[in-house]
Amino acid sequence: MAKRKSQLVMLDHSKAKVMLLQKYLEKYLNIIANDGFTKKINVFDLFCGEGVYENNGEGSPIAILKTLKDLHFINKAKNKSITKVDLFFNDKDESKISKLKSIIDEKKLHYTDFGKLTFSSKDYKTIIESLAGYIQGLNNEKAFVFIDPYGYKEIRASEIKKLLQSKKSEVLLFLPTQFMYRFNEKGTPEALIQIIEELVDIKSWKPSLSVYQFIDQFKDALKNYLGRDYFVDTFSIEKDASTVFCLFFFSSHIRGFEKMLETKWQIDDDEGKGWSYEQTGNLFAVYKTNPLEEKLISLLSSNRKIHNGDIYEFTLRNGFLGKHATEIFNSLQANGKLEVLSTNNEKVRKGAFYVSYENYKSSPQKVYFKLK
Ligand SMILES: C[S@@+](CC[C@H](N)C(=O)[O-])C[C@H]1O[C@@H](n2cnc3c(N)ncnc32)[C@H](O)[C@@H]1O
């Protein structure tokens, strides 16, 4: 049977997907491999494909291997020893796995002192349970799982939950949201019902007006389903005006989650779609509301005492970074709208908000905020 064109030639949206995977892995591996605590990192690419496409585009396994190789040599040059990283590549299609093996050999992409390299040609469905069990049993080890199917029919939210439950893993899932959304418009088909049914009562699922609205609704449903122990964010990739894919990122660690958000903002900034905050309140500025500013103001309007740690977590859960909240607070403070007080109710130095991971860990209640 002739292969579909989109599965043979690496298209731009696939490049964007692999770029996000690679940039995130660089950050993740660098931090975890040097944390002095983790004994080993396990990276699983469950739908890995053949590695190199006919147009020489490089797929996820090559991105993973190159990232690991770079990390290894950078650390070696600095005389630093790093944690071993075991790689697991799986694809149902045996011929793809054998092609991948020969590319790795030919291009010398892996050395035994990096860690173990394992291949398998199994159906995702048959390995997910044992993989979840394997991750559960890890001791002082971490796992990163990349799930990149052609469609969405095979994937279940409950499987993602199982992979995350040990709190030792992060999951990156790529889904063709546009196709899911299209089906959603026409009336939800069986396969979409199954994945959504796990998340919400299907009767409360609203038809979406755009694919982006669908992604938001789907993300919120995933957040509710997984609960507050987990962090979920998305990165959308537009292949063309009518085709939007989406990467869903899941983590049980706020630090890993922050790295993912940093990667996402880094890519957005490079493409000019990133953060642009225009201060409001300026007489001459066109009034423009920033979505994070709106959310922060609404949070601070509640009767609860909101500390720096709350702001950090809230900001990340909404897909933004601590520096974005700080920028907004700087502006609110400059316009006399924000008061920052220490726990003994003393005014704090201007511009000090303590919205960072370090403060979140060491002093999440250093200061609290009041709207004036
Ligand atoms: C979208 S491609 C993966 C592309 C790859 N991650 C990359 O970046 O180049 C999906 C792959 O999943 C494989 N596949 C399809 N169904 C599968 C299943 N049930 N279990 C495991 N692999 C499967 C296909 O052979 C195909 O190579």
Place of tokens 């040097």: 34
Beta carbons within 8 Å of 90's beta carbon, 6+ residues apart:
44, 45, 46, 47, 48, 97, 119, 120, 121, 122, 124, 127
In a domain, 280, yes or no: no
Ligand 1 mean position, distance from CA 335 (Å): 53
Q: What strand order describes the sheet that includes 117-120?
A: 117-120, 84-90, 40-45, 141-147, 169-175, 243-251, 231-240
- Same domain for 295 and 261, yes or no, is no
* Mean pLDDT of all residues in 28-54: 92
In a domain, 12, yes or no: yes
What is the count of structural domains for the chain?
Answer: 2
Report the alpha-carbon distance of residue 33 to residue 215 in Å, rounded: 33
Q: Is the pLDDT of residue 280 over 50?
A: no
Beta carbons within 8 Å of 19's beta carbon, 6+ residues apart:
63, 267
Worst-scoring range by mean pLDDT, 46-50, 238-242, 367-371? 238-242
Look at ligand 1, atom 23, and give the residue with the nearest C-alpha. Answer: 92
- Same domain for 242 and 342, yes or no, is no
- Same domain for 347 and 202, yes or no, is no
Look at ligand 1, atom 3, and give the residue with the nearest C-alpha. Answer: 49
Pocket test for ligand 1, best of 3, 4, 48 (most atoms within 8 A of CB): 48
* pLDDT tens column, 129-143: 999 999 999 999 999
Higher pLDDT, 240 or 362: 362
Ligand 1 mean position, distance from CA 176 (Å): 13
* Mean pLDDT of all residues in 30-55: 92
- Same domain for 193 and 155, yes or no, is yes
Q: What is the pLDDT of residue 8?
A: 47
Ligand 1 mean position, distance from CA 24 (Å): 20
| Ligand 1 atom index nearest CA of 93 | 25
Q: What is the pLDDT of residue 276?
A: 64
Pocket test for ligand 1, best of 45, 100, 150 (most atoms within 8 A of CB): 150
In a domain, 335, yes or no: yes
In a domain, 286, yes or no: no
Beta carbons within 8 Å of 222's beta carbon, 6+ residues apart:
157, 160, 199, 232, 248, 250
Residue of 230, 226, 206 whose CA lies nearest to 216 = 206
Across all residues in the chain, what is the average pLDDT?
A: 88
In a domain, 278, yes or no: no
Look at ligand 1, atom 10, and give the residue with the nearest C-alpha. Answer: 149
- Same domain for 224 and 302, yes or no, is no
Predicted model pTM: 0.89
Residue 250, beta-bridge partner list? 171, 232
Worst-scoring range by mean pLDDT, 131-140, 201-210, 251-260? 201-210
* Mean pLDDT of all residues in 241-255: 86
% helix / strand / coil in the chain, to the nearest 5? 45, 15, 35
Percent of the chain with pLDDT over 90: 62
* Mean pLDDT of all residues in 349-368: 98
Look at ligand 1, atom 6, and give the residue with the nearest C-alpha. Answer: 48
Q: Which protein residues are within 6 Å of ligand 1, measured from CB?
A: 18, 47-49, 59-60, 90-93, 96, 123-124, 148-150, 154
- DSSP states along 329-364: HHHHHHTT-EEEEETTSPBPPTT----SHHHHHH-T
In a domain, 285, yes or no: no
- Same domain for 171 and 126, yes or no, is yes
- Same domain for 224 and 117, yes or no, is yes
CATH of the domain at 105: 3.40.50.150
The DSSP secondary-structure symbol of 65 reads H
Report the alpha-carbon distance of residue 149 to residue 90 in Å, rounded: 12
| Ligand 1 atom index nearest CA of 174 | 1
* pLDDT tens column, 311-333: 999 999 999 999 999 999 999 99
Q: What is the pLDDT of residue 282?
A: 41
- Same domain for 90 and 153, yes or no, is yes
Asked whether the beta carbons of 234 and 249 are under 8 A apart, the reply is yes
Ligand 1 mean position, distance from CA 225 (Å): 26
* pLDDT tens column, 72-116: 999 889 988 889 999 999 999 999 999 999 999 999 999 999 999
| Ligand 1 atom index nearest CA of 154 | 19
In a domain, 276, yes or no: no
- Same domain for 174 and 39, yes or no, is yes
- Of the candidates 270, 300, 333, which is a domain's last residue? 270
- Same domain for 176 and 235, yes or no, is yes
Asked whether the beta carbons of 33 and 108 are under 8 A apart, the reply is no
In a domain, 147, yes or no: yes
| Ligand 1 atom index nearest CA of 45 | 6
Domain, as residue range, for 98: 5-270
- Same domain for 151 and 296, yes or no, is no
Q: What is the pLDDT of residue 348?
A: 96
